[in-house]
Amino acid sequence: MLNKRIYIPLVILCFVSVFGFSQTETDSIPTVIDSVPNTISNEVVIDSIVRKPLNILAPSKAAFYSAILPGLGQAYNKKYWKIPIVYAAIGTGIYVYLDNDKTYKRYRDIYKRRLAGFTDDEFYGDGPTPKVSNEGLIRAQNTLRRNKELSLLITFGLYALNIIDANVDAHLLQYNLDENLALKPHFQYNEQENSTDLGVTLNFKF
């Protein structure tokens, strides 16, 4: 494909050159007249530039899609590489929550059996005193409950971040730099007054 892209323009260029030379030999029209169509064609090319219209609903659509299904807004923005990151982040949060919830229920059930008078749990052991006391089971439950709530909060935060990312990306995709508008900082040292001039220069071409 690359070779074809190179050869085709070269063939066209050679054809135009040969055609131009033959016209120069047989035509007696001055060169000044021939330059008029070139100027007109250049103006037509410049004036025929079509700018992509601004879609003000795109950010809202991207956010809505990500709210329905995480990663769908990123797909709408054509940022497909972000989809695995979204699912890895949210999936990790869900996994940590489920793991803490499972362990919390295990400690809770053992504690309930202790209160009912049973001593055959995995944390009691064979001795007269348990390896993990009832107070230890309570502390473990409190810690696991805290971890469970924290992981759930982080998961919801990642879900919200997925929506915000899709919305911001859609805004940035529509950000268009106009060649006729330029804004740049201005810095100049004034030797006569021994001072520095700072400012901003705004150039606009009609």
pLDDT digits (tens, 9 = 90+) for 109-157: 999 999 998 888 888 887 788 888 999 999 999 999 999 999 999 999 9
pLDDT in tens, 33-62: 444 444 444 444 444 445 566 677 788 999
pLDDT of residue 99: 97
pLDDT of residue 63: 94
pLDDT of residue 186: 63
Mean of the per-residue pLDDT values of the chain: 76
Rounded-to-integer distance, Cα 45 and Cα 70, Å: 43
pLDDT in tens, 193-204: 777 777 766 665
pLDDT of residue 192: 75
pLDDT in tens, 67-112: 999 999 999 999 999 999 999 999 999 999 999 999 999 999 999 9
Which residue from 88, 54, 59, 92 is spatially nearest to 71, judged by alpha carbons?
Answer: 88
Going through the chain in order, the beta strands assigned E by DSSP cover 181-190, 195-204
pLDDT of residue 51: 57
pLDDT of residue 28: 45
pLDDT in tens, 10-22: 445 444 443 343 4
Rounded-to-integer distance, Cα 202 and Cα 29, Å: 46
Rounded-to-integer distance, Cα 66 and Cα 98, Å: 23
pTM: 0.59
